[in-house]
A and B are shown apart, each in its own frame.
Chain A
Amino acid sequence: MSDLNDERSRTGANASRRRFLALGGATAATALAGCSGIFGDGGSGSTGDGGTGAGAISLADFRGSGPMVSQRDAPGGTSIDELPALSGELTLYLGGGEGGLYLDLIELLEQRYPDFTASHRLEASSDLANTIIEENEAGASPADVFMSIDAGSLGAVANAGATAALPEEALSTVPEDFQDSEGRWVGIAGRARAIPYNTNQLSASDIPSTVQDFPSASALGNSMGWAPSYGAFQSFVTAMRLIRDDDETVAWLQAMQDHGISTYDDEFRVSNAVADGELAAGFANHYYALRVQSARENAPIDLAFTEGDAGALVNVSGVEIISGTDNADLAANFVRHVLSAEAQEFFATRTFAYPMIPGVAPVGDLPRIDELNPPDIDLSELADVAGTVDLLREAGVL
């Protein structure tokens, strides 16, 4: 574990970019295993010093546990101790299958503030976006806050005019790249596109540094997988359309198919298939590989990142306040809470996402967000999923 500090101090982005997961496995495993139990109180973690009384929720409860996490510096940024108390009942729409991970955070906040309850509705993010838009057209949505794993869904709701203003204190803490240009939604956790690969079958050098070179990489022939109906993959293709153009994107999709690629229905399965050796490599969000490792120690999986292209896209989970809410103050305060030091530490250590405030580092050996080389894209533009679906269909992928 002592190598972890070296890893972090290393400045050569390339080295850490290529093989940072080798050490991450055990760490990641403990980070999740800390809060186990089939019918257990998944919310409060299992750290001994957490306490159970109201207000006794400490930083340790927000953190995953394990040797590496305990070596982390205290997170910077605004602590929830400095924020006004949450009080009242909030209706929260929570978009995305793995949005279930965020329920831990909601439970922690409910434990800390006995007067606060969040009644949540968890569905696929695009379904909830559709629902909110319908609700808004028909009058007012029952939702106060929409929290989604996908900026495209947030953008669609915003474009339909269904959002209310976010508090300035929240917007000012997050880099401009990770919020809406008009301040209608703000990122709360980052999700980097990545190439999970099987370390028994490939080495880091087999993976080109741009996705454009993948169809000509012999090591990747007939051995890759993707999930084209998955929202995160469609965002990646949308990004490629924005950076290059539709014709080149179609050509790339066709070249990948000619090179031989298998289709899965989500990227967690792609990452699992990589760890199983069913695939040599795949297209997926970065944290799925970490979660595979947390489930299975010693799984032969590592991550590579491409540079400056659509394959290096960093998308975000984010929040927005829904127009017509009669809970505007509570909603605004809630948004500030999910951007607090403790909540950001939660996203970093419990969901393996990139924190959105500068004071909190990503988990252990992940490259810092500024070491990644994402393309220059306005994330709101990722809302044009329809054009991407057409294009995927034209290319025979969907």
Chain B
Amino acid sequence: MGTSDRYERLREQATGATRDSSPPTLLAVVSLAISLLLLSPLVWLFLRAGEIQFGHALELLTSETTVSVTLNTLALVGGVTAASILVGVPLAILTVQTDLPFKRFWTITSALPLVVPSYIGAFAFVSAFGPRGVLADLLAPLGIEQIPTIYGLHGAVLVLTLFTYPYVFLTTRASLLSFDGTVVEAARTLNHTRWQAFRRVTFPQIAPGIAAGALLVALYALSDFGTPAIMQYDVFTRMIYNEFGARRLDYASILSMLLLVMALGILAVESRLSAGRDGAYVSSGSRRPGTIQLGYWKLPAVLFCAAIAALCLALPVGILVRWLVRSGTGYAGGGFSFEMAYAWNSVGLAAAAAAICVVAALPIAYLSARGTTGVSSLPERATYVGYAVPGVVLGLALVYLGLRYVPFLYQSVVLLVFAYVVRFLPQAVGSTESSILQVDPQYIEAARSLGYGPLSAFRQVVLPLVAPGIVAGAALVFLTTMKELPATLMLRPTGFETFVTYIWLVQGAGYYGQAAVPALVLVALSGLSMLVILRREDTS
């Protein structure tokens, strides 16, 4: 190799280095453009809120109801988040790090509750544990007249926790699977007890994972309308809903903005918690720590897993089957019949939303994972705002903006899929970003030094490594889109029905028997996409 060759290589590396700085700029521009597009529906809130007189706005925001409902909402969000961590983290540790029997089975049952729409879950809980539900019927012959009420804060926290904790379970599990087990072994050799090793080594490593899942749980609890309504607990979304009912959109906008302020607060808290995440994710390794022997705790651990599975899966499915069986005596009838086309509509919409989300997530996640400044994670943070917007607010915003600026897209599936992307993109960004963080940056440098351009180095080296994370993100978007109701109702083309609009229709008409089969099929189909997520984690 002559000196000129050497010089050539050096020069190439040098220009490569300068080219390196230009793609991030491009990346930043693309990411910023995507996040601005996703935030654009919020313009409607400002337009509407501008119509309200300042005095009225102040009166509304400082009213006794607003204050008490705000406190209610914060209590709900805090409760659900804390409870989800208490359920999700132990389940993740049990199924990853211990000698729990049938680990594979419990992994699946711990993740699956996410596919059950929480409004169906809430309905099942009231049917089972309501004042005159199945449990009360069973206990009545034993002389127990009254059971504690399921309604209220504790009921709402319970139901929301049981159907959203899998976010924490999945992200915690991913961190546990990817972090370097040798560190724990090292701590143990330094005379740490198991608890000390967990607290000082394992916990700091998985904390960002827990926080990422907890963020999704908290924002979901903040924006959900159906579950608190069924559990008779008064929260912010119900207040917004009432203003929509009263056709007072300016009031609804002011309240929605307050809701978004709460969402920003939650985001700020999570950002602080996961500030040290770079260290956490990058110290990944393929060596798992030694399996924890449960010993005497084996039976309680299995019972814990079984209890969660019974409440989150067996109960709702049981109630749906009961609707089906009882339909013979009048629970079914009338309404209108389910057509296979509705199932395909659902699947098609969810697949389109998942595909667009993963493409849009890639630059945002890459920028956030590889960027060095605080600004580089701004687009990533921005995507979470859309996740916190209640579906009905987003729906009407897109009705208004769609009619004015893209009338040819109004009531088309394009606008509907856009709404899904606004709501669910952070799920794809989160799982894509965590898998990018696990790719050693030196791999790219190695590829570049072999003469690959930045894009082809990314395609040849990074993409294959992050593909499992992308697929998992797609599956997560797919299954949440399948169960989304409010935006679907408002934005779908006229005459276009899906699983959830059909279930809503027949349930509203009181034909529970007819809702049962589509609901079961919906759960089963979404369950398949959950298997995709779990499969990826096993191979990574």
Query: A103–B241 contact, CB under 8 A?
Result: no
Query: A234–B514 contact, CB under 8 A?
Result: no
Query: B494–A119 contact, CB under 8 A?
Result: yes
Query: B232–A38 contact, CB under 8 A?
Result: no
B interface: dominant SS: helix
Tell me, in angstroms, the Cα distance from A273 to B337 when the chains sit together: 28
**B399-428 interface bits toward A, Cβ cutoff 8 Å, 1 = contact, 0 = none:** 110011001000100000000000000000
Query: B333–A42 contact, CB under 8 A?
Result: yes
Q: Is residue A295 contacting chain B, with contact meaning CB distance below 8 A?
A: yes
Q: Is residue B273 contacting chain A, with contact meaning CB distance below 8 A?
A: no
Binds A, one of B83-91, B324-332, B358-366, B461-469: B324-332
Tell me, in angstroms, the Cα distance from A374 to B395 when the chains sit together: 38
In A17-43, the 8 Å CB interface with B consists of 29, 32-43
Query: B407–A265 contact, CB under 8 A?
Result: no
Tell me which residues across on chain A come within 8 A of B78, comparing CB atoms: none
With A32-B330, A142-B411, A295-B330 known as contacts, the answer to whether A42 contacts B335 (CB < 8 A) is: yes
Q: Chain B nearest CB: distance from A245 CB in Å?
A: 19
Tell me which residues across on chain B come within 8 A of A376, comparing CB atoms: none
Tell me which residues across on chain B come within 8 A of A119, comparing CB atoms: 494-495
Tell me which residues across on chain B come within 8 A of A398, comparing CB atoms: 65, 234, 238-239, 242
Tell me, in angstroms, the Cα distance from A43 to B338 when the chains sit together: 12
Tell me, in angstroms, the Cα distance from A350 to B504 when the chains sit together: 20
In B482-540, the 8 Å CB interface with A consists of 489-490, 494-495, 501, 504-511, 513-514, 516-517
Query: B232–A100 contact, CB under 8 A?
Result: no
Q: Chain A nearest CB: distance from B153 CB in Å?
A: 14
Query: A38–B335 contact, CB under 8 A?
Result: no
Query: B508–A386 contact, CB under 8 A?
Result: no
With A38-B324, A38-B517 known as contacts, the answer to whether A103 contacts B335 (CB < 8 A) is: yes
Tell me which residues across on chain A come within 8 A of B504, comparing CB atoms: 97
Tell me which residues across on chain B come within 8 A of A156, comparing CB atoms: 247
**Chain B residue with Cβ nearest A387:** B246
Query: A131–B490 contact, CB under 8 A?
Result: yes
Q: Is residue B396 contacting chain A, with contact meaning CB distance below 8 A?
A: yes
Tell me, in angstroms, the Cα distance from A234 to B242 when the chains sit together: 10
Tell me which residues across on chain B come within 8 A of A42, comparing CB atoms: 333-337, 514
Tell me, in angstroms, the Cα distance from A268 to B506 when the chains sit together: 13
Tell me, in angstroms, the Cα distance from A33 to B44 when the chains sit together: 46
Tell me which residues across on chain B come within 8 A of A386, comparing CB atoms: 246-248
Tell me, in angstroms, the Cα distance from A142 to B493 when the chains sit together: 11
With A98-B510, A123-B489, A138-B407 known as contacts, the answer to whether A36 contacts B400 (CB < 8 A) is: no
Query: B335–A297 contact, CB under 8 A?
Result: no
Q: Is residue A358 contacting chain B, with contact meaning CB distance below 8 A?
A: no
Q: Is residue A53 contacting chain B, with contact meaning CB distance below 8 A?
A: no
Q: Is residue A54 contacting chain B, with contact meaning CB distance below 8 A?
A: no
**Chain B residue with Cβ nearest A278:** B131
Q: Is residue B132 contacting chain A, with contact meaning CB distance below 8 A?
A: yes
Tell me which residues across on chain B come within 8 A of A33, comparing CB atoms: 329-330, 333
Tell me, in angstroms, the Cα distance from A307 to B516 when the chains sit together: 40
Binds B, one of A176-184, A248-256, A321-329, A388-396: A388-396
Q: Is residue A229 contacting chain B, with contact meaning CB distance below 8 A?
A: yes
Tell me which residues across on chain A come within 8 A of B335, comparing CB atoms: 42, 100-101, 103-104
Tell me which residues across on chain A come within 8 A of B151, comparing CB atoms: 262
**Chain B residue with Cβ nearest A118:** B495
Q: Chain B nearest CB: distance from A157 CB in Å?
A: 10
Q: Chain B nearest CB: distance from A145 CB in Å?
A: 12
**A314-339 interface bits toward B, Cβ cutoff 8 Å, 1 = contact, 0 = none:** 00000000000000000000000000
With A119-B495, A135-B403 known as contacts, the answer to whether A37 contacts B332 (CB < 8 A) is: yes
Query: A130–B331 contact, CB under 8 A?
Result: no
Query: B232–A262 contact, CB under 8 A?
Result: yes
**Chain A residue with Cβ nearest B59:** A390
Report 23 cross-chain contacts, Cβ distance below 8 Å, ordered by A residue.
A33-B329, A34-B333, A36-B328, A38-B338, A38-B513, A39-B338, A40-B337, A42-B333, A42-B335, A42-B336, A42-B514, A96-B508, A97-B508, A100-B511, A123-B489, A124-B489, A126-B245, A127-B392, A131-B490, A135-B403, A262-B151, A278-B131, A398-B239
